[in-house]
Chain A
Amino acid sequence: MNIILRTEKLRVEFKSREFRQSPKVALRGLDLEINAGEVFGFLGPNGAGKTTTINVLLGFVRPTSGSASLFGIDVRQPIARQRIGYLPELTYYYKFLTAEELLRFYSRIFSLPRAEAEKRIDAVLKLVELESARKRLIKTYSKGMQQRVGLAQALINNPDLLILDEPTSGLDPLGRMKVREIIQRLKSEGKTVFFSSHELGEVETVCDRVAIISDGELKAVGRVGDIMGPRASLEKAFLDIVGYQPQSAP
Protein backbone atom coordinates (compact mmCIF):
# COMPACT_ATOMS: atom_id res chain seq x y z
CA MET A 1 0.00 0.00 0.00
CA ASN A 2 1.28 3.45 -0.93
CA ILE A 3 1.30 5.59 2.21
CA ILE A 4 0.85 9.22 1.30
CA LEU A 5 0.24 10.72 4.73
CA ARG A 6 2.18 9.65 7.78
CA THR A 7 2.62 11.00 11.28
CA GLU A 8 5.04 9.46 13.77
CA LYS A 9 4.77 10.17 17.47
CA LEU A 10 3.46 13.59 16.65
CA ARG A 11 3.33 15.78 19.73
CA VAL A 12 2.17 19.40 19.81
CA GLU A 13 2.28 21.58 22.90
CA PHE A 14 1.11 25.19 23.13
CA LYS A 15 2.75 27.41 25.73
CA SER A 16 0.26 28.92 28.12
CA ARG A 17 0.11 32.71 28.43
CA GLU A 18 -0.85 32.42 32.07
CA PHE A 19 2.01 32.66 34.55
CA ARG A 20 3.19 29.31 35.90
CA GLN A 21 0.66 27.38 33.85
CA SER A 22 1.91 24.20 32.23
CA PRO A 23 1.72 24.06 28.44
CA LYS A 24 -1.45 22.75 26.84
CA VAL A 25 -0.87 19.46 25.05
CA ALA A 26 -2.93 19.34 21.88
CA LEU A 27 -1.50 16.09 20.45
CA ARG A 28 0.14 13.29 22.37
CA GLY A 29 2.25 11.08 20.18
CA LEU A 30 -0.15 10.67 17.24
CA ASP A 31 0.72 7.85 14.84
CA LEU A 32 -1.33 7.88 11.67
CA GLU A 33 -0.96 6.42 8.20
CA ILE A 34 -3.21 7.03 5.22
CA ASN A 35 -3.02 5.04 2.03
CA ALA A 36 -3.42 6.32 -1.47
CA GLY A 37 -6.92 6.17 -2.89
CA GLU A 38 -8.85 5.93 0.37
CA VAL A 39 -11.38 8.21 1.96
CA PHE A 40 -10.31 8.70 5.54
CA GLY A 41 -12.52 10.22 8.22
CA PHE A 42 -10.94 11.95 11.21
CA LEU A 43 -13.34 12.12 14.11
CA GLY A 44 -13.25 13.44 17.61
CA PRO A 45 -15.08 15.68 20.04
CA ASN A 46 -14.44 19.44 20.10
CA GLY A 47 -10.93 20.21 21.27
CA ALA A 48 -9.70 16.69 20.57
CA GLY A 49 -6.87 17.85 18.28
CA LYS A 50 -8.34 17.34 14.82
CA THR A 51 -7.71 20.87 13.58
CA THR A 52 -4.27 20.88 15.21
CA THR A 53 -3.39 17.73 13.28
CA ILE A 54 -4.52 19.35 10.04
CA ASN A 55 -2.59 22.53 10.89
CA VAL A 56 0.57 20.46 11.37
CA LEU A 57 0.04 18.68 8.07
CA LEU A 58 -0.35 22.02 6.32
CA GLY A 59 2.70 23.55 7.95
CA PHE A 60 0.76 26.15 9.98
CA VAL A 61 2.00 24.76 13.29
CA ARG A 62 5.40 23.28 14.14
CA PRO A 63 5.27 19.99 16.04
CA THR A 64 6.98 19.96 19.40
CA SER A 65 8.33 16.51 18.65
CA GLY A 66 7.69 13.73 16.19
CA SER A 67 7.29 14.07 12.45
CA ALA A 68 4.71 14.33 9.73
CA SER A 69 5.10 13.82 6.00
CA LEU A 70 3.04 14.09 2.84
CA PHE A 71 4.04 11.98 -0.14
CA GLY A 72 7.25 11.17 1.72
CA ILE A 73 8.20 14.86 2.07
CA ASP A 74 8.43 16.56 5.45
CA VAL A 75 5.41 18.83 5.90
CA ARG A 76 7.69 21.78 6.76
CA GLN A 77 8.81 21.91 3.11
CA PRO A 78 6.43 24.03 0.98
CA ILE A 79 6.80 21.55 -1.88
CA ALA A 80 4.99 18.96 0.25
CA ARG A 81 1.80 20.94 -0.46
CA GLN A 82 2.19 20.87 -4.24
CA ARG A 83 -0.16 17.93 -4.66
CA ILE A 84 -2.72 18.70 -1.99
CA GLY A 85 -5.92 20.69 -1.85
CA TYR A 86 -7.22 22.22 1.38
CA LEU A 87 -10.68 23.41 2.28
CA PRO A 88 -10.77 25.18 5.64
CA GLU A 89 -13.79 25.05 7.90
CA LEU A 90 -14.52 28.78 7.52
CA THR A 91 -14.14 29.90 3.97
CA TYR A 92 -13.05 33.46 3.35
CA TYR A 93 -11.33 34.70 0.24
CA TYR A 94 -10.16 38.00 -1.16
CA LYS A 95 -13.30 40.09 -1.50
CA PHE A 96 -11.77 42.39 -4.10
CA LEU A 97 -11.10 39.50 -6.52
CA THR A 98 -13.49 37.61 -8.74
CA ALA A 99 -13.70 33.83 -8.51
CA GLU A 100 -11.82 33.55 -11.78
CA GLU A 101 -9.01 35.82 -10.59
CA LEU A 102 -8.73 33.96 -7.31
CA LEU A 103 -8.40 30.60 -9.06
CA ARG A 104 -5.91 32.06 -11.51
CA PHE A 105 -3.85 33.36 -8.59
CA TYR A 106 -3.83 30.00 -6.86
CA SER A 107 -3.06 28.13 -10.07
CA ARG A 108 -0.06 30.41 -10.53
CA ILE A 109 1.21 29.45 -7.11
CA PHE A 110 0.91 25.82 -8.16
CA SER A 111 2.98 26.73 -11.26
CA LEU A 112 0.32 25.44 -13.60
CA PRO A 113 0.96 26.37 -17.23
CA ARG A 114 -1.43 29.06 -18.37
CA ALA A 115 -3.39 26.94 -20.85
CA GLU A 116 -3.83 24.12 -18.34
CA ALA A 117 -4.75 26.64 -15.63
CA GLU A 118 -7.53 28.08 -17.80
CA LYS A 119 -8.88 24.58 -18.48
CA ARG A 120 -8.81 23.71 -14.78
CA ILE A 121 -10.55 26.98 -13.89
CA ASP A 122 -13.33 26.25 -16.35
CA ALA A 123 -13.65 22.68 -15.09
CA VAL A 124 -13.80 23.45 -11.36
CA LEU A 125 -16.14 26.40 -11.81
CA LYS A 126 -18.46 24.12 -13.75
CA LEU A 127 -18.15 21.45 -11.08
CA VAL A 128 -19.14 23.83 -8.25
CA GLU A 129 -21.75 25.57 -10.42
CA LEU A 130 -20.24 29.05 -10.28
CA GLU A 131 -19.77 29.62 -14.00
CA SER A 132 -22.38 32.36 -14.21
CA ALA A 133 -20.79 34.28 -11.30
CA ARG A 134 -17.15 33.84 -12.28
CA LYS A 135 -16.59 37.51 -13.13
CA ARG A 136 -18.36 38.90 -10.08
CA LEU A 137 -16.38 40.08 -7.08
CA ILE A 138 -16.38 37.58 -4.24
CA LYS A 139 -17.72 40.24 -1.87
CA THR A 140 -21.04 39.98 -3.74
CA TYR A 141 -21.29 36.21 -3.14
CA SER A 142 -23.67 34.52 -0.72
CA LYS A 143 -22.31 32.21 1.98
CA GLY A 144 -23.09 29.13 -0.07
CA MET A 145 -21.31 30.57 -3.08
CA GLN A 146 -18.26 31.38 -0.98
CA GLN A 147 -18.16 27.81 0.23
CA ARG A 148 -18.27 26.63 -3.36
CA VAL A 149 -15.42 28.96 -4.24
CA GLY A 150 -13.54 27.31 -1.38
CA LEU A 151 -14.14 23.91 -2.89
CA ALA A 152 -13.08 25.17 -6.30
CA GLN A 153 -9.77 26.52 -5.00
CA ALA A 154 -9.14 23.24 -3.18
CA LEU A 155 -9.52 21.36 -6.47
CA ILE A 156 -7.75 23.79 -8.80
CA ASN A 157 -4.50 21.83 -8.95
CA ASN A 158 -6.23 18.44 -9.40
CA PRO A 159 -4.83 17.33 -6.04
CA ASP A 160 -3.87 13.77 -5.18
CA LEU A 161 -4.76 14.43 -1.55
CA LEU A 162 -7.68 16.56 -0.49
CA ILE A 163 -7.76 17.76 3.12
CA LEU A 164 -11.19 18.96 4.21
CA ASP A 165 -11.86 20.49 7.60
CA GLU A 166 -15.58 20.09 8.39
CA PRO A 167 -16.56 20.32 4.70
CA THR A 168 -20.33 20.17 5.27
CA SER A 169 -20.43 22.58 8.20
CA GLY A 170 -23.05 25.26 7.58
CA LEU A 171 -24.24 23.73 4.31
CA ASP A 172 -27.82 22.99 3.45
CA PRO A 173 -28.80 19.39 2.54
CA LEU A 174 -28.28 20.09 -1.18
CA GLY A 175 -24.84 21.44 -0.46
CA ARG A 176 -23.95 18.44 1.65
CA MET A 177 -25.09 16.09 -1.07
CA LYS A 178 -22.92 17.97 -3.54
CA VAL A 179 -19.88 17.61 -1.29
CA ARG A 180 -20.56 13.88 -0.86
CA GLU A 181 -20.82 13.48 -4.63
CA ILE A 182 -17.51 15.28 -5.11
CA ILE A 183 -15.83 13.07 -2.54
CA GLN A 184 -17.20 9.97 -4.22
CA ARG A 185 -16.05 11.19 -7.57
CA LEU A 186 -12.56 11.92 -6.33
CA LYS A 187 -12.39 8.47 -4.81
CA SER A 188 -13.40 6.90 -8.10
CA GLU A 189 -10.53 8.85 -9.73
CA GLY A 190 -8.10 7.29 -7.30
CA LYS A 191 -7.63 10.44 -5.20
CA THR A 192 -7.20 10.37 -1.45
CA VAL A 193 -9.53 12.36 0.79
CA PHE A 194 -8.79 13.16 4.41
CA PHE A 195 -11.51 15.01 6.22
CA SER A 196 -12.61 15.81 9.72
CA SER A 197 -16.27 15.96 10.49
CA HIS A 198 -18.92 15.79 13.19
CA GLU A 199 -21.48 14.36 10.76
CA LEU A 200 -21.09 10.67 11.67
CA GLY A 201 -23.87 9.67 9.28
CA GLU A 202 -21.88 11.04 6.35
CA VAL A 203 -18.67 9.51 7.60
CA GLU A 204 -20.35 6.13 7.80
CA THR A 205 -21.52 6.50 4.20
CA VAL A 206 -18.39 7.67 2.41
CA CYS A 207 -15.35 6.68 4.45
CA ASP A 208 -13.18 3.63 3.96
CA ARG A 209 -11.39 4.07 7.25
CA VAL A 210 -11.80 6.35 10.20
CA ALA A 211 -9.69 7.44 13.14
CA ILE A 212 -11.12 8.63 16.42
CA ILE A 213 -9.05 11.04 18.48
CA SER A 214 -9.81 12.35 21.92
CA ASP A 215 -7.76 14.58 24.21
CA GLY A 216 -4.89 14.55 21.70
CA GLU A 217 -4.64 10.76 21.69
CA LEU A 218 -5.58 8.36 18.94
CA LYS A 219 -8.27 6.12 20.43
CA ALA A 220 -9.17 3.98 17.47
CA VAL A 221 -8.34 3.59 13.78
CA GLY A 222 -9.66 1.14 11.23
CA ARG A 223 -12.47 0.33 8.85
CA VAL A 224 -15.89 1.68 9.79
CA GLY A 225 -17.30 -1.78 10.32
CA ASP A 226 -14.38 -2.80 12.54
CA ILE A 227 -14.75 0.31 14.66
CA MET A 228 -18.48 -0.21 15.05
CA GLY A 229 -18.09 -3.84 16.06
CA PRO A 230 -21.29 -5.16 17.61
CA ARG A 231 -22.68 -1.63 18.17
CA ALA A 232 -25.66 -0.51 16.20
CA SER A 233 -24.17 2.74 14.83
CA LEU A 234 -20.94 4.60 14.44
CA GLU A 235 -22.29 7.20 16.83
CA LYS A 236 -22.61 4.66 19.64
CA ALA A 237 -19.15 3.34 18.91
CA PHE A 238 -17.80 6.92 18.93
CA LEU A 239 -19.37 7.69 22.29
CA ASP A 240 -18.02 4.48 23.79
CA ILE A 241 -14.52 5.03 22.46
CA VAL A 242 -14.22 8.61 23.67
CA GLY A 243 -15.51 7.49 27.07
CA TYR A 244 -18.77 9.37 27.18
CA GLN A 245 -20.71 8.68 30.40
CA PRO A 246 -24.37 9.74 30.30
CA GLN A 247 -25.37 11.71 33.39
CA SER A 248 -27.73 9.67 35.58
CA ALA A 249 -31.12 11.29 36.33
CA PRO A 250 -31.35 12.95 39.78
Chain B
Amino acid sequence: MNRARTFFLLLLALLVFCFGIAANLAPRFQAFENSRHQSDNFFSLLLGDSSRIFANSSFVEADAYYHSGYYPTIYDNNSNFQTPHIAEDTGAIASHNQGAEDEGFLGPPRDWLDAFGRHFIPNRHTHLDEGGPADDLSTSKEVREILPWLKLSAELDPENIKTYVVTAFWLRTRLDQVSEAEQVLREGLRHNPDNAQLLFELGRIYSENYDNPARARNIWGAALRSWARQQPGVPQSQRLKMTRENFDDRFMFEQLQTSLAKLEEKAGNRDAAIVRWEQARLASPNPDDVQRHIDKLKQKLPATVSPK
Protein backbone atom coordinates (compact mmCIF):
# COMPACT_ATOMS: atom_id res chain seq x y z
CA MET B 1 0.00 0.00 0.00
CA ASN B 2 2.80 2.34 0.98
CA ARG B 3 4.70 1.46 -2.17
CA ALA B 4 1.70 2.23 -4.41
CA ARG B 5 1.19 5.57 -2.67
CA THR B 6 4.84 6.47 -3.10
CA PHE B 7 4.65 5.56 -6.78
CA PHE B 8 1.61 7.78 -7.38
CA LEU B 9 3.09 10.67 -5.47
CA LEU B 10 6.26 10.42 -7.55
CA LEU B 11 4.22 10.33 -10.74
CA LEU B 12 2.32 13.40 -9.66
CA ALA B 13 5.52 15.21 -8.80
CA LEU B 14 6.91 14.32 -12.23
CA LEU B 15 3.80 15.61 -14.01
CA VAL B 16 3.95 18.90 -12.09
CA PHE B 17 7.64 19.20 -12.96
CA CYS B 18 6.98 18.58 -16.66
CA PHE B 19 4.17 21.12 -16.81
CA GLY B 20 6.38 23.61 -15.06
CA ILE B 21 9.16 23.18 -17.63
CA ALA B 22 6.68 23.36 -20.52
CA ALA B 23 5.17 26.59 -19.16
CA ASN B 24 8.63 28.04 -18.76
CA LEU B 25 9.85 27.11 -22.22
CA ALA B 26 6.73 27.87 -24.27
CA PRO B 27 7.42 31.61 -24.68
CA ARG B 28 11.02 30.87 -25.65
CA PHE B 29 9.87 28.46 -28.35
CA GLN B 30 7.64 31.10 -29.84
CA ALA B 31 10.57 33.44 -30.19
CA PHE B 32 12.60 30.56 -31.57
CA GLU B 33 9.98 29.88 -34.23
CA ASN B 34 10.38 33.29 -35.76
CA SER B 35 14.06 32.81 -36.31
CA ARG B 36 13.66 29.55 -38.12
CA HIS B 37 15.44 29.04 -41.39
CA GLN B 38 13.44 30.76 -44.10
CA SER B 39 14.77 28.84 -47.03
CA ASP B 40 12.76 26.08 -48.66
CA ASN B 41 15.94 24.55 -50.07
CA PHE B 42 16.81 21.25 -48.41
CA PHE B 43 20.56 21.51 -49.00
CA SER B 44 20.70 25.03 -47.67
CA LEU B 45 18.86 23.91 -44.54
CA LEU B 46 21.07 20.86 -44.08
CA LEU B 47 24.45 22.34 -44.92
CA GLY B 48 24.05 26.03 -44.28
CA ASP B 49 26.67 28.21 -45.90
CA SER B 50 28.90 25.23 -46.56
CA SER B 51 26.50 24.26 -49.36
CA ARG B 52 28.29 26.90 -51.42
CA ILE B 53 31.55 25.00 -51.06
CA PHE B 54 29.87 21.86 -52.29
CA ALA B 55 28.22 23.81 -55.08
CA ASN B 56 31.60 25.07 -56.20
CA SER B 57 33.02 21.55 -56.05
CA SER B 58 30.16 20.32 -58.21
CA PHE B 59 30.79 23.08 -60.71
CA VAL B 60 34.45 22.15 -60.88
CA GLU B 61 33.49 18.49 -61.23
CA ALA B 62 31.37 19.46 -64.24
CA ASP B 63 34.50 21.00 -65.74
CA ALA B 64 36.42 17.83 -64.94
CA TYR B 65 33.78 15.87 -66.82
CA TYR B 66 34.08 18.35 -69.68
CA HIS B 67 37.72 17.34 -69.85
CA SER B 68 36.89 13.61 -69.59
CA GLY B 69 38.64 13.31 -66.26
CA TYR B 70 41.82 15.14 -67.29
CA TYR B 71 41.87 17.71 -64.49
CA PRO B 72 44.41 19.14 -62.07
CA THR B 73 44.20 18.52 -58.35
CA ILE B 74 45.37 20.98 -55.72
CA TYR B 75 48.85 19.46 -56.06
CA ASP B 76 49.07 20.15 -59.79
CA ASN B 77 49.70 23.33 -61.70
CA ASN B 78 46.18 24.61 -62.26
CA SER B 79 46.93 28.11 -63.51
CA ASN B 80 45.13 27.29 -66.77
CA PHE B 81 42.06 26.04 -64.94
CA GLN B 82 41.30 28.98 -62.63
CA THR B 83 38.14 29.67 -64.60
CA PRO B 84 36.47 26.40 -65.57
CA HIS B 85 36.52 25.98 -69.33
CA ILE B 86 32.81 25.17 -69.40
CA ALA B 87 32.29 28.75 -68.22
CA GLU B 88 35.08 30.30 -70.26
CA ASP B 89 33.76 28.75 -73.48
CA THR B 90 30.34 30.36 -73.04
CA GLY B 91 31.90 33.78 -73.57
CA ALA B 92 29.72 35.12 -70.78
CA ILE B 93 32.13 34.67 -67.87
CA ALA B 94 35.38 36.57 -67.36
CA SER B 95 38.42 34.30 -67.62
CA HIS B 96 41.39 34.28 -65.22
CA ASN B 97 43.25 31.46 -66.97
CA GLN B 98 46.87 31.80 -67.90
CA GLY B 99 48.19 30.18 -71.01
CA ALA B 100 46.50 28.76 -74.08
CA GLU B 101 43.31 26.84 -73.47
CA ASP B 102 44.59 23.55 -74.82
CA GLU B 103 47.70 23.59 -72.61
CA GLY B 104 47.91 20.75 -70.11
CA PHE B 105 48.97 20.74 -66.48
CA LEU B 106 50.88 17.48 -66.14
CA GLY B 107 54.29 18.67 -67.18
CA PRO B 108 57.23 16.24 -67.40
CA PRO B 109 57.04 13.14 -65.15
CA ARG B 110 58.48 13.70 -61.67
CA ASP B 111 59.93 10.17 -61.39
CA TRP B 112 59.49 6.65 -62.78
CA LEU B 113 56.42 6.02 -60.62
CA ASP B 114 54.72 9.13 -61.90
CA ALA B 115 55.69 8.25 -65.47
CA PHE B 116 54.28 4.75 -65.07
CA GLY B 117 51.12 5.97 -63.35
CA ARG B 118 50.29 8.35 -66.20
CA HIS B 119 49.41 5.43 -68.44
CA PHE B 120 46.47 4.70 -66.15
CA ILE B 121 44.87 8.13 -66.00
CA PRO B 122 43.38 10.51 -68.56
CA ASN B 123 46.49 12.22 -69.89
CA ARG B 124 45.33 14.40 -72.78
CA HIS B 125 43.56 17.74 -72.83
CA THR B 126 40.26 17.23 -74.64
CA HIS B 127 36.86 18.88 -74.55
CA LEU B 128 33.61 16.96 -74.62
CA ASP B 129 31.99 19.25 -77.14
CA GLU B 130 34.81 18.31 -79.53
CA GLY B 131 34.27 14.59 -79.04
CA GLY B 132 36.36 14.03 -75.93
CA PRO B 133 39.07 11.35 -76.08
CA ALA B 134 37.61 9.96 -79.28
CA ASP B 135 38.06 13.34 -80.98
CA ASP B 136 35.00 12.48 -82.95
CA LEU B 137 32.97 15.60 -83.61
CA SER B 138 29.96 13.54 -84.60
CA THR B 139 29.52 12.59 -80.94
CA SER B 140 29.82 16.13 -79.66
CA LYS B 141 26.56 15.79 -77.73
CA GLU B 142 28.72 14.04 -75.10
CA VAL B 143 28.78 17.43 -73.38
CA ARG B 144 25.46 16.34 -71.81
CA GLU B 145 27.56 14.51 -69.23
CA ILE B 146 28.34 17.76 -67.41
CA LEU B 147 24.65 18.48 -66.77
CA PRO B 148 24.15 16.40 -63.59
CA TRP B 149 26.94 18.31 -61.83
CA LEU B 150 25.63 21.65 -63.02
CA LYS B 151 22.16 20.72 -61.80
CA LEU B 152 23.58 19.71 -58.42
CA SER B 153 25.59 22.92 -58.22
CA ALA B 154 22.44 24.96 -58.90
CA GLU B 155 20.52 23.06 -56.21
CA LEU B 156 23.27 23.60 -53.67
CA ASP B 157 23.77 27.28 -54.38
CA PRO B 158 20.70 28.72 -56.11
CA GLU B 159 22.14 32.23 -55.87
CA ASN B 160 25.12 31.49 -58.10
CA ILE B 161 24.23 33.05 -61.43
CA LYS B 162 27.16 31.52 -63.26
CA THR B 163 25.72 28.02 -62.91
CA TYR B 164 22.46 28.91 -64.65
CA VAL B 165 24.24 30.83 -67.39
CA VAL B 166 26.62 27.99 -68.17
CA THR B 167 23.92 25.32 -68.01
CA ALA B 168 21.60 27.26 -70.30
CA PHE B 169 24.43 27.92 -72.74
CA TRP B 170 25.30 24.23 -73.21
CA LEU B 171 21.68 23.12 -73.29
CA ARG B 172 20.86 25.70 -75.90
CA THR B 173 23.88 25.67 -78.16
CA ARG B 174 25.12 22.07 -78.14
CA LEU B 175 22.26 19.89 -77.05
CA ASP B 176 19.37 21.63 -78.87
CA GLN B 177 17.33 21.61 -75.66
CA VAL B 178 16.08 25.16 -75.84
CA SER B 179 12.98 24.76 -73.68
CA GLU B 180 15.10 23.15 -70.95
CA ALA B 181 17.56 26.03 -71.21
CA GLU B 182 14.69 28.46 -70.77
CA GLN B 183 13.46 26.52 -67.74
CA VAL B 184 16.92 26.70 -66.17
CA LEU B 185 17.08 30.46 -66.63
CA ARG B 186 13.57 30.96 -65.26
CA GLU B 187 14.51 28.80 -62.27
CA GLY B 188 17.52 31.06 -61.78
CA LEU B 189 15.26 34.13 -61.98
CA ARG B 190 12.95 32.63 -59.33
CA HIS B 191 15.88 32.51 -56.93
CA ASN B 192 17.50 35.72 -58.21
CA PRO B 193 14.69 38.03 -59.37
CA ASP B 194 15.53 40.63 -62.02
CA ASN B 195 19.12 39.49 -62.39
CA ALA B 196 20.55 41.27 -65.44
CA GLN B 197 22.73 38.41 -66.65
CA LEU B 198 19.95 35.84 -66.46
CA LEU B 199 17.59 38.19 -68.27
CA PHE B 200 20.22 38.74 -70.92
CA GLU B 201 20.61 35.00 -71.51
CA LEU B 202 16.82 34.58 -71.59
CA GLY B 203 16.66 37.33 -74.19
CA ARG B 204 19.21 35.46 -76.28
CA ILE B 205 16.95 32.42 -76.33
CA TYR B 206 14.06 34.48 -77.65
CA SER B 207 16.25 36.22 -80.15
CA GLU B 208 18.40 33.35 -81.46
CA ASN B 209 16.22 30.31 -80.93
CA TYR B 210 12.58 31.35 -80.81
CA ASP B 211 13.06 34.15 -83.37
CA ASN B 212 10.91 36.47 -81.32
CA PRO B 213 12.70 39.85 -81.50
CA ALA B 214 9.91 41.76 -79.77
CA ARG B 215 10.05 39.55 -76.69
CA ALA B 216 13.84 39.62 -76.75
CA ARG B 217 13.78 43.43 -76.89
CA ASN B 218 11.47 43.57 -73.88
CA ILE B 219 13.59 41.18 -71.86
CA TRP B 220 16.85 42.97 -72.68
CA GLY B 221 15.19 46.25 -71.81
CA ALA B 222 14.23 44.81 -68.44
CA ALA B 223 17.80 43.58 -68.05
CA LEU B 224 19.15 47.05 -68.68
CA ARG B 225 16.80 48.55 -66.15
CA SER B 226 17.88 45.90 -63.67
CA TRP B 227 21.51 46.71 -64.41
CA ALA B 228 20.86 50.36 -63.76
CA ARG B 229 19.19 49.57 -60.41
CA GLN B 230 22.10 47.40 -59.24
CA GLN B 231 24.21 50.30 -57.93
CA PRO B 232 21.68 53.10 -57.39
CA GLY B 233 23.99 55.80 -56.00
CA VAL B 234 26.71 55.29 -58.61
CA PRO B 235 26.48 57.22 -61.90
CA GLN B 236 26.71 55.25 -65.14
CA SER B 237 29.93 56.97 -66.19
CA GLN B 238 31.58 55.73 -63.02
CA ARG B 239 30.39 52.19 -63.61
CA LEU B 240 31.68 52.20 -67.18
CA LYS B 241 35.21 53.36 -66.35
CA MET B 242 37.90 51.07 -67.76
CA THR B 243 39.06 49.51 -64.49
CA ARG B 244 39.59 45.90 -63.56
CA GLU B 245 37.02 46.10 -60.78
CA ASN B 246 34.39 47.35 -63.25
CA PHE B 247 35.06 44.64 -65.82
CA ASP B 248 32.03 42.40 -65.20
CA ASP B 249 29.67 45.33 -64.77
CA ARG B 250 30.92 47.03 -67.94
CA PHE B 251 30.90 43.74 -69.86
CA MET B 252 27.25 43.17 -68.95
CA PHE B 253 26.27 46.65 -70.10
CA GLU B 254 28.21 46.26 -73.33
CA GLN B 255 26.63 42.86 -74.08
CA LEU B 256 23.14 44.20 -73.52
CA GLN B 257 23.62 47.31 -75.63
CA THR B 258 25.36 45.34 -78.40
CA SER B 259 22.63 42.72 -78.53
CA LEU B 260 19.92 45.38 -78.63
CA ALA B 261 21.83 47.23 -81.31
CA LYS B 262 22.06 44.12 -83.50
CA LEU B 263 18.38 43.46 -82.93
CA GLU B 264 17.48 46.96 -84.10
CA GLU B 265 19.78 46.64 -87.09
CA LYS B 266 18.13 43.37 -88.10
CA ALA B 267 14.69 44.98 -87.73
CA GLY B 268 15.82 47.88 -89.91
CA ASN B 269 15.58 50.49 -87.13
CA ARG B 270 18.74 52.47 -87.96
CA ASP B 271 18.37 55.32 -85.52
CA ALA B 272 17.52 53.00 -82.64
CA ALA B 273 20.50 50.86 -83.58
CA ILE B 274 22.83 53.84 -83.64
CA VAL B 275 21.70 54.96 -80.18
CA ARG B 276 22.44 51.49 -78.84
CA TRP B 277 25.86 51.30 -80.52
CA GLU B 278 26.76 54.65 -79.02
CA GLN B 279 25.91 53.32 -75.59
CA ALA B 280 27.89 50.15 -76.29
CA ARG B 281 30.90 52.23 -77.35
CA LEU B 282 31.01 53.76 -73.86
CA ALA B 283 31.71 50.33 -72.38
CA SER B 284 33.64 48.71 -75.22
CA PRO B 285 37.39 48.00 -74.95
CA ASN B 286 37.55 48.80 -78.71
CA PRO B 287 35.56 52.06 -79.01
CA ASP B 288 37.17 52.96 -82.35
CA ASP B 289 35.84 49.81 -83.99
CA VAL B 290 32.39 50.55 -82.64
CA GLN B 291 32.59 54.13 -83.91
CA ARG B 292 33.50 52.93 -87.37
CA HIS B 293 30.48 50.67 -87.36
CA ILE B 294 28.26 53.57 -86.29
CA ASP B 295 29.61 55.72 -89.12
CA LYS B 296 28.91 52.93 -91.61
CA LEU B 297 25.37 52.65 -90.32
CA LYS B 298 24.77 56.36 -90.64
CA GLN B 299 25.69 56.18 -94.28
CA LYS B 300 23.54 53.15 -95.11
CA LEU B 301 19.96 52.92 -93.84
CA PRO B 302 17.08 55.50 -93.71
CA ALA B 303 15.98 56.87 -90.29
CA THR B 304 13.10 55.02 -88.55
CA VAL B 305 11.58 54.44 -85.05
CA SER B 306 13.48 55.79 -82.01
CA PRO B 307 14.08 53.48 -79.07
CA LYS B 308 12.10 53.54 -75.84
Tell me, yes or no, whether A and B come into direct contact in the complex with CB atoms closer than 8 A.
Answer: no
Question: B residues bordering A, Cβ < 8 Å?
Answer: none
